[in-house]
Structure 1
Amino acid sequence: MNIAVDSGNTYAKIGWFEKDELIRFQTRLLWGDLVQEIRQEMPDQIIFSSVANRVEDFRESLGGEVNILDLSPKTPVPIKKEYKTPETLGADRVAAAVGANWLFPDEDLVVIDMGTCITYDFIDKSGSFEGGIITPGVKMRFSALHTFTKRLPLFEPVAIPDLIGKSTQEAIESGVMNGVLAEIEGIINQYRHISPSLRVVLCGGDISFFESTLKPSIFAVPELVLIGLNRILRYNVALQ
């Protein structure tokens, strides 16, 4: 059994895999909960990806003999990176791209990851990561309206509301949620000018607000990053 760990600034996600099959997963785990979950059943291999924690601390917290692959810019991955600054390319973007390329091989892809930021990454049919777009995420937009004004309250994401808001709250909710929806649809259309046969793959914590509203050609894979991490782990094990 292998484990994939995606540890963010606040929470972590973890996936248990038997070869390529995702057996189960958990999200929104605090650091202590993450370590406890793994220690209950130590795996054969772990891949660890984190923007906030060091792999040395992770290894020490587990206190056991387990092989841990730390995902870094130098880690071999089963796609090509045509990116000017690969050392700054986020591990989550790489993992999502690997996962999408494995699920949908020999296709032009755009991966839309809806987390703290929204990223749009293009992977061509040869498995080459060409780059993409980074924009503010849903909660970041609500927070910006509140932080950079004196009187606008802070609200939370909601299901796609009516376009015309009848109150300040409704107007803010419509502005953010319909604005993000229009952005996604507009950017997808621009990508389709590059590749008319493009497949769109959606992942990330905020996809539930949008997946039913977007056109049927969108494929939602909520745990795409974990799937990609597992593929990177298996790829590196095969190289040994």
Structure 2
Amino acid sequence: MNLVIDSGNTSIKLGLFKNGTLEKVFTTNDYNQLARIITGFDIKRSIISSVRKDQDIIKEKILFKVNPLLLSSGLQLPFKNNYETPQTLGPDRIAGVAGAYYLYPGKSSLVIDAGTCITYDFIDKEKNYYGGAISPGISIRFKALNAFTAGLPLVEKEEDISFIGKSSKGSILSGVLNGATAEILGMIGEFKKNDQELNVIMCGGDARFFERRLKETIFVVPDLVLIGLNSILEYNERFL
């Protein structure tokens, strides 16, 4: 069984794969709980991806089971990385692109990860990765309006919003949520100018929220990063 660990900005996700199939997913923020979660599983291989500086902490907690790979741009990848500064490329973005290529080989894909940040990553049908874009996620936008203005309140996401805000809260909800939706639609449109057959794959905590508001055909794959991590782990078996 393969253990893949994605330590993101808000939580740590663990995925357990057997014969290429994701069988179990766990979410935690307790490093000590990592060991307790995996105690009862027969784990042969593992990989850790982290946007925090906690890879060594996680590795220490699971060493009683397996010695994991640590995901970085220096690891062997199942696609060609053309990013000009590969050392600055987030491991979550690497894993998302790997997941897209694994699910849709031979097709170009745009990966949109709608989490703490909204990231856009493009891989073509010849498995060349070029890069993409990064913008603030919904929660960051709400917090910025509250932190950098004198009188605007801190607002949280709501499902039902009006396009025309009739209060400060309503105006913030409209500006942030409708604005982020318009941004995503605009980015998809720009990427599709060069490839009308482009797959659009969305993941991240706000993916379902945007799915209901987008007029484009998209595939929401909540566990895309975990799937990508497992494909990278399997790919690296040939080099060990």
Amino acid at match of 2:238: A
Instruction: Give the distance between the partners of 1:28 and 1:156, measured in 2 at CA.
Output: 23
Aligned to 1:103: 103
Shift of 1:63: 4.8
Paired residue secondary structure (1:47):
strand
Aligned to 1:69: 69
8 A Cα contact 1:39 1:62, kept in partner: no
Aligned to 1:227: 227
Aligned to 2:194: 194
8 A Cα contact 2:208 2:220, kept in partner: no
What are the equivalent positions in structure 2 for 1:4-23 lying under 5 Å apart? 4-23=4-23
User: Which is further off, 61-70 or 230-239?
Assistant: 61-70
Paired residue secondary structure (2:102):
helix
Paired residue secondary structure (1:67):
coil
State yes or no: 1:27 paired with 2:38. Answer: no
8 A Cα contact 1:11 1:30, kept in partner: no
Aligned to 2:177: 177
CA distance 1:35–1:106, shift in 2 (3 Å): same
CA deviations on 1:178-221 (whole Å, 9 max, x unpaired) are 00000000110111111111110001111121112213511100
User: Which is further off, 214-223 or 225-234?
Assistant: 214-223
Aligned to 1:94: 94
Aligned to 1:120: 120
Aligned to 1:44: 44
Amino acid at match of 1:182: A
Instruction: Give the distance between the partners of 1:207 and 1:28, measured in 2 at CA.
Output: 20
Q: Mind listing any 5+ residue stretches in structure 1 that lack a counterpart? A: none
Task: Count how many residue pairs are aligned between Structure 1 and Structure 2.
Answer: 240
State yes or no: 1:204 paired with 2:220. Answer: no
Amino acid at match of 1:229: L
Amino acid at match of 1:194: N
User: Which is further off, 213-222 or 55-64?
Assistant: 55-64
Paired residue secondary structure (1:142):
helix
What is the percentage of aligned positions where both structures have the same residue? 45
Normalized against structure 1, the TM-score is what? 0.95
CA distance 1:160–1:102, shift in 2 (3 Å): farther
Amino acid at match of 1:6: D
8 A Cα contact 1:160 1:174, kept in partner: no
8 A Cα contact 2:9 2:116, kept in partner: no
8 A Cα contact 2:59 2:67, kept in partner: no
Shift of 1:108: 1.2
Instruction: Give the distance between the partners of 2:153 and 2:42, measured in 1 at CA.
Output: 46
User: Which is further off, 95-104 or 158-167?
Assistant: 158-167
Amino acid at match of 2:179: G
CA deviations on 1:107-143 (whole Å, 9 max, x unpaired) are 1111000111101111000011111010001100000
Amino acid at match of 1:5: I
Instruction: Give the distance between the partners of 2:219 and 2:50, measured in 1 at CA.
Output: 26
Shift of 1:42: 4.8
Shift of 1:155: 1.1
Moved over 6 A (4+): none
Shift of 1:152: 0.7
8 A Cα contact 1:160 1:178, kept in partner: no
Instruction: Give the distance between the partners of 2:157 and 2:34, measured in 1 at CA.
Output: 27
Paired residue secondary structure (2:165):
coil
Amino acid at match of 1:186: G
Paired residue secondary structure (1:130):
strand
Aligned to 1:154: 154
